[in-house]
Structure 1
Amino acid sequence: MRLRVEFTTEPFDLDEAPAHALVAREVIEAVDLDAVDVGPFGNTAVGGADTVLTAVDALLRKTLEAGATRISLQVNVVEEGGR
């Protein structure tokens, strides 16, 4: 099974990326995912279910530790080859 996770971390800072946003990027980019799109207002990653779920666990734990006060998260099952 393949999953797509979309997430944002808050609070936002339009002048400088907060520590929790940098940590989120590090977590997602360190995992072997099929596709990653990191942006200022939302992030998306696609990969196998085990990989995505492990990344989500690390993402939640590490971004909260880095000061995130809210994490919005959506996980969808995607068709094989879909992004």
Structure 2
Amino acid sequence: MRLRVEFTTEPFDLDEAPAHAVVAREVVQGAALDAVDVGPFGNTAEGGADAVLTTVDALLRASLAAGATRVSLQVSVIGDADGEGSR
């Protein structure tokens, strides 16, 4: 199964990225995922179910430890193990 996770961390800081946002970005960029897109107001990552779920666990733990007061995320099934399915 292939999954996509979309997430944001709060509180926001428009002047510079807060520590929790930097840590979250580092977690997803260092993970074994197929596609990662990070931005100032939202982030997405795609990959196999095991890789995405492992990354979500690490993302939650690291960003909360770094000061996030809220992590909003959505996980969607985007295909089967062969990459087939709806997008």
Give the TM-score of the pair, scaled to structure 2: 0.91
Identity fraction in percent: 77
1:8 alignment counterpart: 8
**Within 5 Å, which residues of 2 pair with 1:39-78?**
39-78=39-78
Instruction: Point out where structure 1 has 5 or more consecutive residues left out of the alignment.
Output: none
What is the CA RMSD across the aligned residues, in angstroms?
A: 1.2
**Within 5 Å, which residues of 2 pair with 1:11-30?**
11-30=11-30
Provide the secondary structure at the position in 2 that maps to 1:61: helix
Determine the C-alpha separation between the residues in 2 that align with 1:29 and 1:35. 9
Segments of 4+ moved more than 4 angstroms? none
Instruction: Point out where structure 2 has 5 or more consecutive residues left out of the alignment.
Output: none
Determine the C-alpha separation between the residues in 1 that align with 2:6 and 2:47. 12
Q: Aligned pairs, how many?
A: 83
Provide the secondary structure at the position in 1 that maps to 2:52: helix
